[in-house]
A and B are shown apart, each in its own frame.
Chain A
Amino acid sequence: MKNEPSPEAWAEMHRRMVLTRRLEETLGEMFRSGKTRGPIHRCDGQEAVGVGACGALGQEDYVATTHRGHHVYIGKGLDPRRVVAEIFGRATGYCGGRGGHMLIGDASTGVIGGNAIVGAGIPAAAGMALSIKIRGENRVAMTVFGDGAAQTGICHEAMNMAGLWKLPVIFVLENNRFGLTVPQDRQSATGDLAARAAGYGMPGEVVDGNDLVAVFRAVASAADRARRGEGPTLIEARTYRVEGFSTSDMGGYQDPDEVAEWRARDPIRLSASALAPLIGAEEVAAIEAAAREEMERAFQQALADPMPDFAFHAPSSPYAEAH
């Protein structure tokens, strides 16, 4: 079937989801023991969105993500060790410690990049798509953004231009039901965010955001459409934020039953049970164990890496020579 992942591709995505989960869990443990710096925004339970979406793209395609983008970093194939190194401010991190976990970028794999201003990734991807169109390239640009970002004004501006100019861009709306601590039905005039696509002259589609293959299929088909010059697609991937907004979140606003229901629909377990008939349950277990080990090794290596040296950054400093 067209836009169906091969068993090998699915296994690789499954591996990346497990890598991401282990990253998030380890960060949670390290936060609790006081070993992290600044906030961490975990994406546990949402791995299928970032990994499935990135899995449907090529290395040359661009992606812009959010403050909660670890599944996109790992999904697009970044080196776990360098991701962890950036989170811990090491010289070996993707930004040499300048960016932190929200601003990781790697031009060589098209990750341009994390963004901690809610909504900013949306025009960023539209601008990359404009660049692709001006240069006549065959790439696509994608943004993964939340239901909170969908309420910003810049989202409207960017989607309008993307639709107007038929830009090769994929808008993956990762609806995790919360913008900060406020549930989506108290932030949005409509519960059907994908329906907004009609106002921008593009197709809008709802997919189960905890179903890796459903996300993959939707994005692969949107990418085909974009490469054919038919313009953007809005994909609303419905999922749930089972951890807090960030490590500083003190909770108290989520329905525990609802959280439990979504935890029971764990995207990794769903993927594992559907993948097992294709490659064997033992192989799935082996992939998961190897991924967990790889992430643990990434932490060990990254934490042993050196801290960066400070340097002024003054390409346009009014008086650089005076420092």
Chain B
Amino acid sequence: MPTMRYAEALNAALREEMARDEAVFVFGEDVGTYGGVFKVTKGLMEEFEGRVLDTPISEQALTAMAVSAAMTGTRPVLEIMYADFMPLTLDALINQASVFSYVWEGQVEMPFVLRTQGGGGVGTGAQHAKSLDGLVAQVPGLKVVAPVTPADAKGLLKAAIRDPGPVIFLEHKLLYNTRGDVPDGDETTEIGRARTVREGTDVSIFATSRMVLEAEKAAEALAAEGVFAEVIDLRTLRPLDLGAVVGSISRTHHAVVVNEGWGFCGYAAELSATVMDHAFDQLDAPVMRVAIPDMPIPYSEPLETQVIPDAGRIAAAARRALA
């Protein structure tokens, strides 16, 4: 199995799907000649003439155009450069895509993918470091995926492009250079299926995107103390793999949920509530939530590191659950 960087895995997925299906096209800011700010679309403009478009800085209209282009026979893949710009896309997602997928169900499909990247840790400041997973995962009709491994980056992007959609595809700026094995050939990762990263018996840690890597480190630290944490990479935020969540809690009876968005009304909040709805009888302790505190992301390094969840905070939450 070849080793690839996360960005290369995404690039391979786009290239393979564009070659497989002429209805697939890619558009967004800097995605053409420049190859994308994170080089995910590198080389595609030359290879697929007329199907890779550099666009003006017009997130609102671009997202609305992705919706209507998808309803009329194409499969657009739109890149929104930062998840922080997602508020500009919300009318198209909430009032257009979500609504039409319901009121015109059976008349039109909406096979578009909105790729974006979020997350902090490298000093990009309050308007370029957020994860707004909860904002989009709340919307009926949307599917939301967030791969952490290069293999899933490729497999989920291929699945997202083939999906009747719409799919919001959340990447993380600190993952693009991470490496991992990626299966050869036409492998997809099923949307809606979580992945058990590490089996454990004492506490379940449910994490998303880069937080899975921090959860793994937390599990290592806990193992040294004789606490065996199960780490579950949700991979798909919506539709949630409820079976995997409840199944893990029924083995460990303790749960920590980790997401790099805001805690209050965020994805971690929803996950906590979902666990309470469906696995309350299995719990020996309250669900612990690890998320961004109730504030914008600060710029300066010692300030920013205080708000981004890390292995230390995850392990501390697990200890609280088990105390």
- Decide if A135 touches B74 in the complex (CB within 8 Å): yes
- Chain A 116-157 interface residues, beta-carbon cutoff 8 Å to B: 117, 120, 122-128, 130-132, 134-135, 141, 153-154, 157
**Residue positions of A touching B, CB distance < 8 A:** 62, 64, 95, 98-99, 103, 105-108, 112-113, 115, 117, 120, 122-128, 130-132, 134-135, 141, 153-154, 157-158, 160-161, 164-165, 313-322
- Decide if A95 touches B101 in the complex (CB within 8 Å): no
Counting from the closest, the 10 A-B pairs by CB-CB distance are: A127-B65, A127-B68, A157-B61, A123-B64, A157-B58, A99-B103, A131-B69, A123-B61, A318-B240, A124-B68
7 contacts between A and B (CB under 8 A): A105-B103, A123-B92, A134-B25, A135-B74, A318-B137, A318-B270, A318-B274
Known: A134-B23, A315-B101, A316-B239. 6 other contacts (CB 8 A): A113-B104, A120-B96, A123-B65, A127-B68, A157-B58, A318-B270
Q: Which one, B56, B73, B107, B143, contacts A316 given CB within 8 A?
A: B143
Bound form: Cα–Cα A134–B100 in Å: 22
Bound form: Cα–Cα A128–B72 in Å: 6
Bound form: Cα–Cα A106–B242 in Å: 36
Bound form: Cα–Cα A319–B142 in Å: 13
Q: Quick check: is B55 within 8 A (CB to CB) of the other chain? A: yes
Bound form: Cα–Cα A157–B59 in Å: 9
Bound form: Cα–Cα A165–B53 in Å: 10
Q: Quick check: is B227 within 8 A (CB to CB) of the other chain? A: no
- Decide if A154 touches B60 in the complex (CB within 8 Å): yes
- Decide if A107 touches B104 in the complex (CB within 8 Å): yes
Q: Which one, A108, A132, A134, A161, contacts B58 given CB within 8 A?
A: A161
- Decide if A319 touches B51 in the complex (CB within 8 Å): no
- Decide if B61 touches A319 in the complex (CB within 8 Å): no
- Chain B 250-303 interface residues, beta-carbon cutoff 8 Å to A: 270, 274, 277-278
What are the residues of chain A within 8 A of B64 when measuring CB–CB? 120, 123-124, 127, 154, 158
Bound form: Cα–Cα A163–B122 in Å: 38
From known contacts A131-B68, A161-B65, infer whether A322 and B141 are also in contact, taking CB-CB under 8 Å: no
Bound form: Cα–Cα A62–B274 in Å: 42
What are the residues of chain A within 8 A of B137 when measuring CB–CB? 318
Q: Which one, B56, B72, B103, B108, contacts A103 given CB within 8 A?
A: B103
User: B319 CB to closest chain A CB, in angstroms?
Assistant: 29
User: B256 CB to closest chain A CB, in angstroms?
Assistant: 19
What are the residues of chain B within 8 A of A126 when measuring CB–CB? 61, 65, 68
Bound form: Cα–Cα A99–B95 in Å: 12
- Decide if A105 touches B61 in the complex (CB within 8 Å): no
What are the residues of chain B within 8 A of A164 when measuring CB–CB? 56
Bound form: Cα–Cα A62–B108 in Å: 13
Mark contacts of B230-248 with chain A using CB atoms, 8 A cut-off: 1 yes-contact digit, 0 otherwise: 0000000011101000000
Bound form: Cα–Cα A124–B62 in Å: 10
What are the residues of chain B within 8 A of A316 when measuring CB–CB? 140-143, 238-239
Mark contacts of B16-48 with chain A using CB atoms, 8 A cut-off: 1 yes-contact digit, 0 otherwise: 000000010100000000000000000000000
